[in-house]
Amino acid sequence: MIKTDPELCLRCGGCVGVCPQDALSLSENGISCSEKCTSCRICVNFCPVGAIELDD
Amino acid sequence: MIDMKSYDVVIAGAGPAGSGAAIAAAKEGLRVLMVEKRQEIGSPKRCGEGLSRSSLERMGLEYDPVWARRPIIGTSVYAPNGKYVRYDGEDLGWVVERKIFDKWLAEKAADAGARVQARTEVSSVLKEDGIVSGVKLSSFGNSWDVKCRILIACDGVESKVSRMAGLNTTLKPTDLVAGFQYEMAGIEIDPDRIELYFGNEVAPGGYVWIFPKGERVANVGIGVRKPFARKTAKEYLDDWIRTKPGLKRGSVLEANSGGVPVGGLMENMVLDNFMAAGDAAHHVNPIHGGGISEAYVGGRIAGEVAAEAIREGDTSAAFLDRYNKRWWDERGKKLEKIFRLRQVAERLNDDELNWLAEYLSGEDLVNFSKSKGFGKLAKLLIKKPRLVTLARKLM
């Protein structure tokens, strides 16, 4: 699973587009992550503002 | 307000792709509903807001001063060593105000007869026997079902609607640029020229841009890409701005981020009763990341095919395959060729970029962005043994 920092996240949705598991979704409250997440870090590496980190 | 329980076409997302589809379908007399989940069409932008004259022509639209912030009469492309290649022209295009431009397009869709509804989200895709049959909409706490014969997903790079419909639009990490941008004021810039800065220290896998919107205001942004980038896009941009005396004391009017597809062109963009267009279908020029006209044209073709399908009473994937074919003939083949150029460009080190800047003209660079003149670049690359295999990609 991942967690996003709402202070940093600009809700652009790019991480959703690059998630191979279709685990992420974007709403006004930010990004939420489902159980489908495999902690592959692709979204962490993508995020333009460094708002995402793994949440173990 | 949305007053009907059934439409011929429902379009998810009211950016240029959505409006392109809505205008084309409504002009053919279809009952069209275009919904936008955000409260304001065109905002927040995920875009540097550059629109070339040739892009506007490709869209088949006329200039309107209402959306033009600044005319552009030149471009300067900087190599890592600071040498630049200039391209000059009378009126190359404009830096636009997206929140006005996108609404201007949506207004045309409404004028053509489409129903447009902002702050209304497709919360799920309805299916009958596994085939798309409509959408569940939600807006201001209300939720209701709308049937449609065709659903067109124009909901951006994340394309939740494509995923819900069953079309996989996921991009490879190498095909998604991480973009970050400030709209800055009180800065010292050339207000008439676009500036682009390349280099593996400045913006690995992408570039830095300055798109002027006025005498002292501009979009200053960056795109970077894994696996080349070692920091976040924001960190690269902040570090670069710190080295520019004319920018580093500037004010910030807006901060934007976004994912820009620069590859992953899709052979198939349809399902039964369903099509995807715009960023959702990766309709972006892979070398510079510009997508306004590509999205609009993709949407327009989808809207035209929707009209034909409904007229002929066949909205199956087999019929909608016309959209795949037409898009690939009109845009896909060119963009695929440009994608190969992107794969070459990203392999060049800073010394090689500096060397190329000595031999390439501004006109060459413009040609490259239009999938033309690759032969000249290939002839240069084969002079360097390391680059011979790359040159073959361009032939």
Over residues B100-127, the pLDDT tens digits come to: 999 999 999 999 999 999 999 999 999 9
Q: Are B236 and B224 in contact (CB under 8 A)?
A: yes
Based on the fold, state whether residues B184 and B147 are members of the same structural domain.
Answer: no
Q: Are B356 and B348 in contact (CB under 8 A)?
A: yes
Per-residue confidence at A29, pLDDT binned at 50, 70, 90?
confident
Looking at 3.40.30.10, 1.20.1300.10, 3.30.70.20, 1.20.120.530, the CATH number of the domain A2-54 comes to 3.30.70.20
Asked whether the predicted pLDDT for residue B2 surpasses 80, the reply is: no
Judge whether B59 lies within some domain: no
Smallest Cβ–Cβ distance between A13 and the set B156, B170, B173 belongs to: B156
pLDDT for A27 equals: 84
Interface with chain B: mutation pick from A4, A5, A10, highest number of B CBs within 10 Å: A10
Query: Tokens 């905002």 correspond to what residue?
Result: B43
Q: What is the ipTM of this complex?
A: 0.96
Please give the residue range of the domain that contains residue B181.
69-94+173-261
Q: Are B116 and B22 in contact (CB under 8 A)?
A: yes
Based on the fold, state whether residues B207 and B145 are members of the same structural domain.
Answer: no
Cα distance between residue B204 and residue B225, in whole Å: 6
Based on the fold, state whether residues B87 and B199 are members of the same structural domain.
Answer: yes
Smallest Cβ–Cβ distance between A49 and the set B173, B234, B261 belongs to: B234
**Which helix or strand (DSSP H or E) is residue B337 part of?**
helix B333-345
Per-residue confidence at B89, pLDDT binned at 50, 70, 90?
confident
Mean residue pLDDT of chain B comes to 97
Q: Are B299 and B275 in contact (CB under 8 A)?
A: no
Based on the fold, state whether residues B127 and B12 are members of the same structural domain.
Answer: yes
Based on the fold, state whether residues B162 and B179 are members of the same structural domain.
Answer: no
**Shortest Cα–Cα distance, A10 to chain B (Å):** 6
Q: Which residues of B touch A12 (CB under 8 A)?
A: 46, 256-259
The CATH number of whichever domain residue B294 belongs to comes to: 3.50.50.60
pLDDT for A28 equals: 79
Work out the average pLDDT over B379-391. Answer: 95
The CATH number of whichever domain residue B183 belongs to comes to: 3.30.9.10
**Which helix or strand (DSSP H or E) is residue B205 part of?**
none
Cα distance between residue B53 and residue B164, in whole Å: 36
Interface with chain A: mutation pick from B177, B257, B262, highest number of A CBs within 10 Å: B257
Residue ending a domain, choose from B314, B337, B360: B337
User: In this complex, do B257 and A26 lie within 8 Å of one another by their Cβ atoms?
Assistant: no
pLDDT for B395 equals: 85
Based on the fold, state whether residues B33 and B130 are members of the same structural domain.
Answer: yes
Based on the fold, state whether residues B38 and B111 are members of the same structural domain.
Answer: yes
Work out the average pLDDT over B234-239. Answer: 98
User: In this complex, do A20 and B160 lie within 8 Å of one another by their Cβ atoms?
Assistant: no
A1 touching B (Cβ < 8 Å)? no
Which residue intervals of chain B are DSSP H helices?
16-27, 53-59, 98-111, 160-165, 233-242, 245-248, 292-312, 317-327, 333-345, 350-359, 362-369, 374-381, 388-393
Backbone φ, ψ for residue B317 (5° rounding): -60, -35
Q: Collapse the DSSP code of B392 into the 3-class scheme (helix H, G, I; strand E, B; otherwise coil) and give the result.
A: helix
pLDDT for B3 equals: 67
Judge whether B207 lies within some domain: yes
Report pLDDT digits (tens) over B159-211: 999 999 999 999 999 999 999 999 999 999 999 999 999 999 999 999 999 99
Based on the fold, state whether residues B250 and B198 are members of the same structural domain.
Answer: yes
Based on the fold, state whether residues B183 and B257 are members of the same structural domain.
Answer: yes
A5 touching B (Cβ < 8 Å)? no
Judge whether B316 lies within some domain: yes
Judge whether B62 lies within some domain: no
End-to-end CA distance of chain B: 54
CA neighbours closer than 13 Å in the CB half-sphere of residue B54:
8
Per-residue confidence at A18, pLDDT binned at 50, 70, 90?
very high
A20 touching B (Cβ < 8 Å)? yes
Based on the fold, state whether residues B307 and B180 are members of the same structural domain.
Answer: no
Boundaries of every domain in chain A: 2-54
State how many domains chain B has: 3
Based on the fold, state whether residues B80 and B160 are members of the same structural domain.
Answer: no
Report pLDDT digits (tens) over B165-178: 999 999 999 999 99
Based on the fold, state whether residues B31 and B177 are members of the same structural domain.
Answer: no
